Amino acid sequence: MTVEREQRTTDEAWLERRRAFLNASQGAATDDLHPWITRLELWNTLRGFEVPKPDNAMMLRGRDLEEPGAIGVQRAKPGWRIWNPNEYLFDRATRIGCTPDRYATDEKGRLIVIQIKVVAAPTFKRNWDDNLIPPYVLWQNQHEINLCGAYAGLVAALEIDAYTHNLHLYEVPQHDKAWQYMLSRYAWMWQHVDAGTEPPRNYARDGALLAMMFPHAKTGSVVDLRADNRIQFLCSERERLSEAMKAAKEERDAVDAEIIDKMKDNEAALVRGWRLTYKEQHRREHMVKATSFRVIRCVKEETVG
């Protein structure tokens, strides 16, 4: 492996360079372990069909609070020298890359690569604890350790809520067997990309992406699925779930009607263990732009005889 390094000059140049590589922040998706990227989405991204993901408040918060996280690590590790390398590393042979958040040298002069995560308190309580790192974060740091040639890694999770913040540090040792497995997953993904063969779908998560991949129907086209037993099950299951949803809506509508009758023209109600309100909402008038989209309609055929 021949690792090359480039200084980050502009965000645009950095984003353009990393598009050609499978990056540390995406790696866990090759094993379907990433909470926000599926294998199919990664496959599409590497083939040049990038799913639009504009910046949101959570992403901006993560970048804005990266430096306070680094300051917290320095406070916890006063004997370390910590710096921002501001560089992108990549290997052309394996087509992988990474952008380390921070480097450090410990008291023995060994290189440590630091990954900083900003985590909302409820998310931290759900997915982290004193000994547990989410798999996609552990994967990302292990990728960085090996590509950077570091002795070890450190994950710094800055847990934040409305009033406080707590820094949690997790030491990540270099693990050769894990790295070899990760490289095999990267090779597997690139084989699929190069051959144009799509990886297995995760239908619980890939629905929106599949709709983007096939946004328009060819007029008059028909696919013959009469020999596909699975599609018959799916149509039956869709009908069952639609009926269950309709029944659930009718039940909730009846519950809402009884609540309205009890509250009458009051905005709020005092209920033990609940905060109950029934307030007016005002929506501004707006024009809805014309659009087109595909709709699934599944109607059971009547059998004759």
Name the burial class of residue 22, with classes exposed (0-12), middle (13-18) and buried (19+) by CB atoms within 10 angstroms of its CB: buried
Its domain, for residue 11, covers: 3-204
Domain annotation covers residue 154: yes
| pLDDT given for residue 83 in this prediction | 96
Inform me whether the pLDDT recorded for 98 exceeds 90: yes
How many domains does one find in the chain?
A: 2
CATH number at residue 114: 3.90.320.10
The token pair at 272 is 């033990």
| pLDDT given for residue 172 in this prediction | 96
- Note whether 149 and 29 are same-domain residues: yes
Domain annotation covers residue 228: no
Tell me which residue has tokens 């997953």.
185
How do residues 32-74 score in pLDDT, each as one tens digit? 999 999 999 999 999 998 777 666 666 676 677 788 899 999 9
User: Which amino acid is present at 118?
Assistant: V
Q: Give the pLDDT band (50/70/90) at residue 305.
A: low
- Note whether 157 and 258 are same-domain residues: no
- Note whether 55 and 133 are same-domain residues: yes
- Note whether 19 and 110 are same-domain residues: yes
- Note whether 77 and 146 are same-domain residues: yes
How do residues 152-171 score in pLDDT, each as one tens digit? 999 999 999 888 889 999 99
- Note whether 133 and 270 are same-domain residues: no
- Note whether 64 and 194 are same-domain residues: yes
Domain annotation covers residue 67: yes
| pLDDT given for residue 295 in this prediction | 72
- Note whether 191 and 268 are same-domain residues: no
Inform me whether the pLDDT recorded for 304 exceeds 60: no
CA dihedral 82, 77, 153, 46 (to 10 degrees): -50
> How many CB atoms are closer than 10 A to CB 5?
10
Radius of gyration (C-alpha) of the chain in whole angstroms: 25
- Note whether 28 and 133 are same-domain residues: yes
- Note whether 44 and 111 are same-domain residues: yes
Q: What is the reported pTM?
A: 0.82
Alpha carbon distance 58, 65 (integer Å): 11
